Amino acid sequence: MGSNMAENHPVAFRFLVEAQRRGATLVHVDPRFTRTSALCDIYAPIRAGTDIAFLGGLIRHVLEGDHWFREFAMAYTNIADIIEDGYGDPEQNGGVFSGFDAAQGSYDHSSWQYKGKRVPSSIAEHRSQTQEGGYRGMTDSPPAQDRTLRHPNSVYQILRRHYARYTPEMVERITGCPQEVFLRVAEAIVRASGRERTATFCYAVGWTHHASGVQIIRACAILQGLLGNVGRPGGGIQALRGHTSIQGSTDIPTLYNMLPTYLPQPNAFHPHATLADYLDAETPPTGWWHNLPKYMVSLLKAWYGPAARADNQWCYEHLPKLTGDLSQLPMTLAMVSGVMRGQFILGQNPVVGAVNSDLVERGLSKLDWLVVRDFAITETANFWQKGRLVQRGELSPGQIGTEVFLLPTALAGEKDGTVTNTSRLVQWHDVVCEAPGDSRSDLWFIYHLGKRLKQLYAGGTAARDAPIRDLTWTYPERGARHEPDPAAVLREINGYTVADRRQLQSYQQIRDDGSTACGGWMYTGVYPHDGHNVARARMPDGPDGPGSHLGWAFAWPSNRRTLYNRASADPAGNPWSERKRMVWWDAGKREWTGTDVPDFVRTKPPDYRPDWSTHPTGMDALGGDSPFIMEADGKCMLFVPTGLKDGPLPTYYEPVESPVRNALYRQQHNPAAKLWPRPGNELHPACDPRFPYVFSTFRLTELHCGGIPTRIMPHTAELQPEAFVEISPELARDLGIRHLDWTVLSTLRGEIEVRAMVTERTRPLTIDGRTIHQIGMPWVFGWEGYARGDIANVLLAITGDANTSIHTTKAITCALRPGRLARAGGSGHGR
C-alpha cells in the first residue's frame, strides 16, 4: 500500500517477485492499477487518501474474527494495559479524542496516559512539538493491566469500540473497494500470519504525503502488532525510502528539529536553558532512551572537540534553540513574507518538487540571494527568467532582485561516500572518475564553505561567534582540488575515544563523561577500526544462507537487520517456530543469539523481571520479555499514550480536500492538521462542486528524482517525452476528452495544461452511492530538458501532516476541462 514498488523501487521489488515464486501472495492496494498491480495476486482499488479506513477495516476483521496472535500480542504489546478514566474516543466525542482544544487545534495528552502514569514518547520529533517531561510512575511499577481484557478502558476494549464501525460495508462506502475484494485481502493477511508465517507491508510516500500520514502508518503498526508480524523474519513495515539517501538525511538530519540520530533539538520555550535542564526534561526514566545523556554529550564532543568541557556544559549553549516550525512549508510562507534573505538549494528542485509552485516562485523572488547546486540548469535556478510568474507577466526579470548562483555539482559516480535508504542500509560507493571542470561534490562545497566561515570568525569575540569558532572542522584533503575525505566524516559519525582517537566498535561504549566523541550513535560500528569501513562490505548470503545478509554493507544500529528481533522468540526465549526462527535465548551460554544481531541486552534472560522496590531505571526497568526497548515500557504500542499530535489511535478523516463527506464523523478532516490558508494558498471546501475530482501525483520509472537528471538526457527523455494526466475512459467520455487531447487542470492555487492519457489504469469508484472520478499526474516535469510539461505541484496547497509537517500530494481535489490555457495559444482549443 502507498507505493508503486515495481516502478519506483524496481530493485527491491525483485525480492517480492522471488517471494511470490516461492508461494507468497502479493497484494496491491492503490488508487491506480500500475505495473505493481499487474504483478500482484490481488489488486484492491481504493480512493486516494482513504487508507486508514481500509486498514481500520483490517484491524476490525482481525479483532472481531479473533484472528490476532494472542500469545504474541498479550506478551509484547500494550493490549491489556488500562488507560486513564478520562479517555474519550471520537466515537463518543464528536469525532475528536479527549483533550482537544478547538481554539488551538491541538491536543492535551493527559487523558491518553496509562492509568496513574505519565509516559515519555520515544521519538525526538514528537518532543519538538510537545513539551514533555514530568514523567510519572514509570519506575514504580509496570502499567496497570487487566489480563482478562474485560476492563472497559483496556486497550483491547478501546480498540474494539473504536474500530467497530469499520465494517466491510463501511470500508466499501468510504474507499470504494468492493467488499469481496477487501475480504480477500483480509483473509490473505490473516492466512499469512501466526507462528509459522509472517506478512509484511511495504509503503512509500503514498502513505506519508497526507495530512494524516503518520496515522496511516500507525494503523499498519497496530495491525502488525496484533498479528505478531513485528520483529520477526518476513514481517514488519518496510519504509521504501527515496533513492538519494533520504533515510540518511533523516538519520544525520537535514531536518530542522532533530540532532543526528534522533536526539531532540533544544527548544527555547521548553525547560532547556542548560544541558542539565535539557537532559532532565528529555531523558526518559526507563527504556533504552535512558542513555540519551551519553549520546548527547558525545555528539557535543564530536562537534566542538577540545572546546567542549564539563565546566562549559560541553558547549551546549552553541546549539541553536528552536522557537517554531521551521520546516520547509512554513518557511516557504515566511520567504514570501520577506523574512529570509537567502537560501541554499542542495539536492532538490523545489519549483518542481515542492507544493504550490507559484508560491515557491514568489518566495524565491523575495530573496537577496539564492545558491543552487546541481549538475544542470533547474527550474529553481532560472525561475527568474522562465518561471510561471514571468511567463504570465506578473513579474519581470528586472523586478526580481534575487541574485542566483548556479554552482555545478559532481554526479554520484564522481564522488565517494554513503547512501542510506530502505532497510536503514548504509552502503558505501567509490568514486569512478573525477568530475569535470568546476564541478564539485556537495561535501566539498560544505567543507570549504565551513573553512571560509571559520576564517571569517577566527578573530570574533562575540558569544555568537563561538559556535563557528569552536567547531571541529579538520578533515583530510585529497588531491589538487582539496576534496575532503568522506571516510573521515564517516569515522567521526561512528565515534572514537577522545584520549587516543580509537574507533568505537559499538554504541554501548559511548560515555557521557567526555571520554568519547560520536557524531551519530546509531551509526556506531559502521567504521569500527581504522581501515575497516563496514559500509563497503559486499558479501551476501548464499542460496542456503539465513537471508539476513549480515556481510552486505551496514544496517544501523549495530548492523542489525530486523529491529526488535527479540520478538522473534516467545516470552521464554524459544523461536515461535523453527520455520520463523531468527533470535533466541541460548540457555547454555546464557545469551541471546541467532541469525541476526540481537536487539536486546545480550545477557538479559527471558525471565528477568524488574525489582520495582528499587525504582529501576533504563533497561533495568524492562523485563526479559519486553522486546520494544525504545519504548519506555518495552511494549509495542497499539495505543500511544504520548507524543502523537492527532490522537492515540488512527481514526478516519477525509483528506483536507475531498469531494465527499466523512461517513464516520461530523469532523471532516484531521483537526490537528497544519493548514495555512491565505491568498495564494486557499483550500477547497469539502464537496466543492467547482473541484469535483480526486487528484493524486506520482512518479515515473523513466524520470528520476525531480526529473532533471533524466529530462536532460535524450535516451531517457524520449521514454516519457511529455507531461500528461491519466483519466479514465468514463471521465473522458463525460467531458468529451479524447486520448492525447489537451486538458486544463485547475485548483484555487493555479492551473496547468497537459495532454490526456485516457487509460483504464484509472477507474471511477462508487463512494457512498456516488461516482467519484480520480485522476493522476506525474509531478516530475518542468520547463527544462527535452521532456517537458507543466508542473503538477502548481495545483497543490501548502498543508502539513500534524506530526511531521510533510505536505499533502496524494489526495486533493481539482477541476478538469478539455482545452488549453489562453497563454498557450489563445484559442482554448483542445485538439
Partner 1 sequence: MAGDEHAAPEHAAPEHAALAALDAALRTRPAKDGHEFAQATQCLVAFRNRLTDRQREGKREGADVSTALDQVNALISVVLGAHFPLGTVPWPAVERARAALAKLIADTA
**Do residues 236 and 270 touch, judged by C-beta distance below 8 A?**
no
Residue 325 in contact with partner 1, rule: CB under 8 A: yes
Contact 585, 549 (CB under 8 A): no
Please report whether residue 679 would count as binding partner 1 according to CB under 8 A.
yes
Cβ proximity to partner 1: between 20 and 327 the closer is 327
Segment near partner 1 (CB under 8 A); pick from 45-53, 466-474, 670-678, 726-734:
670-678
Nearest CB to partner 1, comparing residues 105 and 234? 105
Q: What is the DSSP letter of 104?
A: T
Convert residues 636-655 into a mask of x (bound to partner 1 by CB under 8 A) and - (unbound).
Answer: ---------x----------
17 or 268, CB closer to partner 1? 268
CB 44 → partner 1: shortest distance, Å? 37
Q: Which three cell numbers stand for residue 646?
A: 492527532
Q: Is 492 exposed, middle or buried (0-12, 13-18, 19+ CB in 10 A)?
A: buried
- What are the angstrom distances between the C-alpha of 281 and each of 274, 312, 323, 723, 828? 11, 19, 17, 51, 62
Q: If you search the block for the grid coordinates 493491566, which residue do you land on?
A: 145
Instruction: State which residue, 236 or 363, has the beta carbon closest to partner 1.
Output: 363
The verdict on 333 binding partner 1 (CB under 8 A) reads: yes
DSSP state of 142: P
Closest separation between CB of residue 393 and partner 1, Å? 13
**Of 20, 2, 53, whose CA–CA distance to 202 is shortest?**
2
Cell of 180: 469481496
Q: Does 273 bind partner 1 (CB under 8 A)?
A: no
- Binding status of residue 128 toward partner 1 by CB under 8 A: yes
Considering only 88, 105, 178, 450, the residue that binds partner 1 (CB under 8 A) is: 105
- CB closer to partner 1 out of 209 and 645: 645
Q: What is the distance between the alpha carbons of residues 485 and 431, in angstroms, rounded to a whole number? A: 12
Q: Identify which of residues 479 and 679 has a Cβ nearer to partner 1 in the complex.
A: 679
Q: Which of 269, 369, 405, 612 binds partner 1 (CB under 8 A)?
A: 269
Nearer Cβ to partner 1, position 297 or 336?
336
Region from 53-61, 97-105, 472-480, 714-722 binding partner 1, contact rule CB under 8 A: 97-105
Say whether residue 446 binds partner 1 (CB under 8 A): no
At 132, list the grid cell.
514533555
Residue nearer to partner 1 on the CB measure, 674 or 684: 674
Q: Which residues contact 59 (CB under 8 A, 6 or more apart)?
A: 159, 163, 166, 219, 222, 223, 226
Contact 120, 138 (CB under 8 A): yes
Answer yes or no: are the C-beta atoms of 789 and 722 closer than 8 Å. yes
Helix (H) or strand (E) holding 10: helix 10-21
514: DSSP letter: S
Candidates 48, 300, 359, 629: give the one binding partner 1 (CB under 8 A): 359
Rounded to a whole number of angstroms, the minimum distance from the CB of residue 332 to partner 1 is: 11
DSSP letter string over 791-816? -GGGG---EE-TTT-PPP-SSEEEEE
Among 20, 93, 106, 167, the residue binding partner 1 under the rule CB under 8 A is: 106
Q: How far apart are CA 385 and CA 391, in angstroms?
A: 8
Pick the binder of partner 1 from 322, 381, 498, 632 (CB under 8 A).
322
Peptide bond into 484 cis (omega under 30): no
Would you count residue 680 as binding partner 1 (CB under 8 A)? Answer: yes
Kindly state the number of chain residues that form the binding site for partner 1, as judged by CB under 8 A: 37
- Specify the amino acid at residue 129: Q
Contact flag: residue 464 with partner 1 (CB under 8 A): yes
Q: Does the protein bind partner 1 through residue 271 (CB under 8 A)?
A: no
| In contact, 220 and 230? CB cutoff 8 Å | no
Q: Please, which of residues 473-502 interact with partner 1 by CB under 8 A?
A: none
Task: Give the span between the Cα atoms of 253 and 258, in whole angstroms.
Answer: 7
Compute the least distance from the CB of residue 118 to partner 1, in Å. Answer: 17
CB of 465 to partner 1, least distance (A): 12
d(CA 42, CA 31): 14
Closest separation in Å from C-beta 101 to partner 1: 8
Shortest CB 392 distance to partner 1, Å: 12
Instruction: Indicate whether 508 belongs to the interface with partner 1 (CB under 8 A).
Output: no
Residue 271 or 721 having the CB closest to partner 1: 271
3-state secondary structure of 701: coil
> Which one of the spans 168-176, 465-473, 623-631, 679-687 is the region binding partner 1 (CB under 8 A)?
679-687
For residue 217, the minimal CB distance to partner 1 (Å) is: 21
Show Cβ contacts of residue 480 under 8 Å, excluding neighbours closer than 6 positions: none
CA end-to-end span of the chain, whole Å?
Answer: 36
**Chain centroid to CA 192:** 26
CB-nearer residue toward partner 1: 7 or 317: 317
Q: Torsion angle of alpha carbons 242, 245, 249, 252, nearest 10°?
A: 140
Between CA 731 and CA 54 the distance in angstroms is 25
- Which of 337, 461, 613, 827 is close enough to bind partner 1 by CB under 8 A? 337
Question: Of these, 123, 334, 412, 663, which contacts partner 1 (CB under 8 A)?
Answer: 334
Select the span of 127-135, 211-219, 529-537, 556-564 touching partner 1 (CB under 8 A). 127-135
Question: Which ranges of 642-703 would DSSP assign to H, the alpha helix?
Answer: none
Q: Is 682 helix (H, G, I), strand (E, B) or coil?
A: coil
Say if residue 686 is exposed, middle or buried (CB neighbours under 10 Å; 0-12, 13-18, 19+): middle
Q: Which stretch binds partner 1 (CB under 8 A): 122-130, 185-193, 206-214, 444-452?
A: 122-130
Question: Closest approach of Cβ 263 to partner 1, in Å?
Answer: 16
Least Cβ distance, residue 520 to partner 1 (angstroms): 23
Does 676 bind partner 1 (CB under 8 A)? Our answer is: yes
Question: Is position 397 an interface residue for partner 1 (rule: CB under 8 A)?
Answer: no
Query: Which residues contact partner 1 (rule: CB under 8 A)?
Result: 101, 103-106, 128-131, 257, 267-269, 322-326, 330, 333-334, 336-339, 359, 362, 394, 464, 645, 675-681
